[in-house]
Each structure stands twice: as C-alpha cells, then as structure tokens.
Amino acid sequence: MRTLSGDPSATPLSFDRLVVVETARQGDYEPLQPDVILAFHELCLVRDDREWFMGQLDDDGSVICWASYGSDLAEAIRSL
C-alpha cells in the first residue's frame, strides 16, 4: 500500500467513525459499512461490499466519499 501509493505515512484507520458517500442528488449522502479504511494524508480509500470508494478525512474523523473506484485496490490507489 505504501509502496504503490508513494505515501510512507499511509495507514489503516479504525471503523469507529461516520463514513458516507454522496448520492446523485446534490447534498444527499448514503452511509457506508466499510470493512477497510485506508488513509493517505487527507484522502481515504474505503471498501464497502468489495467496492473501493475515494473520499476525504474530515477534521471530526468522518469520511465523506464522492465516487466508487471499482473493486481493484491497486487501481484505486493509482487514482489517488
């Protein structure tokens, strides 16, 4: 993960946080139930139901995702 991303500080995060993804309707969010959360500075990759979502880590520790990047972790990391 660190080698592929080029981020030596990349780290897994705990699940004790709110994780949501924006929906097609402006301003609406859907909760995610992640089984993996990876942080790359303020960006995160979140896996929910075998799909990787990219988002941002907020100051309160929550993660707001904006899009799915598919099921391939290496491809999602390259999209960071």
Query: Where in the chain are the domains?
Result: 2-78
pLDDT digits (tens, 9 = 90+) for 51-71: 999 999 999 999 999 999 999
Whole-number pLDDT of residue 1: 53
At 26, the pLDDT band (50, 70, 90 cuts) reads confident
At which residue do the structure tokens 């500075």 appear? 41
How many angstroms separate the CA atoms of 2 and 44, rounded? 13
Long-range contacts of 28-34 (CB under 8 A, 24+ apart): 29/64, 32/65
**Amino acid (1-letter code) at residue 40:** F
Is 1.10.10 the CATH classification of the domain at 2-78? no
If 0-12 CB within 10 Å is exposed, 13-18 middle and 19+ buried, where does residue 68 land?
A: middle
Residue 57: other Cβ atoms inside 10 A: 18
Global pTM reads: 0.86
